[in-house]
Amino acid sequence: MRAITYQAVEEVRVQDVPEPAVQDPTDVVIRVTLAAICGSDLHLYHGRIPGLVPGYVLGHEYVGVVQEVGPQVRTLVPGDRVTGAFNPACGACGPCRRGQYNLCPNGGVLGYGLAFGNLGGTQAEYARIPFADTTLRKVPDHVTDEQAIFTGDVLTTAYGAVKNSGLVPGETVAVIGAGPVGLMAVQSARVRGAGRVIAVDLIPERLELAERLGAVPINAAAANPVSRVLSLTGGDGADVVVEAVGGTKTILMAFDLVRPGGRVMAVGITSEETLEYPLMASLSKDVTFRIGVANVVRDIDETLSLVAAGRIDPTAVVSHRLPLAEVPDGYRLFAERKILKALVVPD
Ligand SMILES: [Zn+2]
Ligand SMILES: [Zn+2]
């Protein structure tokens, strides 16, 4: 089959690789009908994640049709149209039994290299999905592939962060970064009752989209985001700040935007090992700081329902639809911030 494989730093290509097969009895193999390039794939592309070898298949966002099921799969049959978590979970271990599916030691991340479970990726014609009963969901008939794919990562990552923040209806949410995850955070905050949502970015087109989705835009290239957020909130700061970039500077900015007693939720995938923690600001403002990988298995039913009901439109961020042959160029343009969100159509 044809797949997008890692070759070297900043080099991916379309390559013929063996088709995946059911390996474990809880596996499903899907024929991928839609994949995507994700911001977190850029860390792989730039060589910042250890455990990548040439020929490794990339990609972790997907919709597909079940092709083959392992003998212990109970909820799916060939022909089912499915999407699912980028981070499969076994459903049986201690963390999974506590509902902390994102901490499953038996899972990993699809297409994220040897350090994350050595699972093959989904930017391919076929993909093996482990622990299919826990990881996958059938897509409701009236939800399109392009809507559904966001529930496996980008939307649910953002939605989970807003949910974990304990947002109280009426509160103000500031979102740093109006990329795909940030724009989903804007929509998630609104759907969960935020009184006001503020979006901070540097790219005018992204801010325009954020505004269309209901946020007050702040261009950090033209205005000081801290003074703007303070003036919008009567000098308090935002109740919740969602950091959707994954940089240390933007995490530090979040501590300046948040009100005393507020919550900072970092969802941008980072490749930094450490951060110089703003201890004094955190102490004097009594800030709660949370960072973690999204618990997609926990929240995907909720996000699928919201999309099915038309309350969130994740496709607002789609800017490109690429056949496999154009994906290598897509990575380059995405790295240059010339693409907001590229979907990948494998056939
Ligand atoms: Zn992703
Ligand atoms: Zn588990």
Q: Residue 313 forms beta bridges with which residues? A: none
Burial of residue 77 (number of CB atoms within 10 Å: 0-12, 13-18, 19+): exposed
- What's the pLDDT at 269? 80
Tokens of 227: 């003074």
Could you tell me whether strands 216-219 and 196-201 are parallel, antiparallel, or unpaired per DSSP bridges? parallel
- The predicted-structure confidence for 151-196, as pLDDT tens digits, reads as follows 999 999 999 999 999 999 999 999 999 999 999 999 999 999 999 9
Q: Which fold has domain 155-291?
A: Rossmann fold (3.40.50)
Backbone angles phi, psi at 104, to 5 degrees: -60, 125
- What's the pLDDT at 273? 86
Q: For residue 112, how far is its CA from the centre of ligand 2 (angstroms)? A: 18
Nearest ligand to the C-alpha of residue 150?
1
Q: For residue 149, how far is its CA from the centre of ligand 2 (angstroms)? A: 23
Q: For residue 327, how far is its CA from the centre of ligand 2 (angstroms)? A: 32
Residues 6 or more apart in contact with residue 344 via CB below 8 angstroms: 4, 34, 35, 36, 37, 59, 123, 322, 323, 324, 327, 330
Nearest ligand to the C-alpha of residue 26?
2
Tokens of 225: 């985001």
- The predicted-structure confidence for 230-277, as pLDDT tens digits, reads as follows 999 999 999 999 999 988 999 999 999 999 999 999 998 887 889 999
Q: For residue 134, how far is its CA from the centre of ligand 2 (angstroms)? A: 9
Q: For residue 235, how far is its CA from the centre of ligand 1 (angstroms)? A: 35
- The predicted-structure confidence for 14-62, as pLDDT tens digits, reads as follows 999 999 999 999 999 999 999 999 999 999 999 998 899 999 999 999 9
Span(s) in the chain for CATH 3.40.50.720: 155-291
Q: Write the class of the CATH domain 2-153+295-345.
A: alpha beta
Chain mean pLDDT for the chain: 97
Q: For residue 228, how far is its CA from the centre of ligand 1 (angstroms)? A: 31
Q: For residue 293, how far is its CA from the centre of ligand 1 (angstroms)? A: 11
Prediction pTM value: 0.96
Span(s) in the chain for CATH 3.90.180.10: 2-153+295-345
For the chain, report the end-to-end CA distance as a whole number of angstroms: 10
CA 118, 124, 128, 134 dihedral sign is positive
- What's the pLDDT at 270? 80
- The predicted-structure confidence for 268-306, as pLDDT tens digits, reads as follows 888 788 999 999 999 999 999 999 999 999 999 999 999
Whole-angstrom distance, CA of residue 165 vs CA of residue 297 = 18
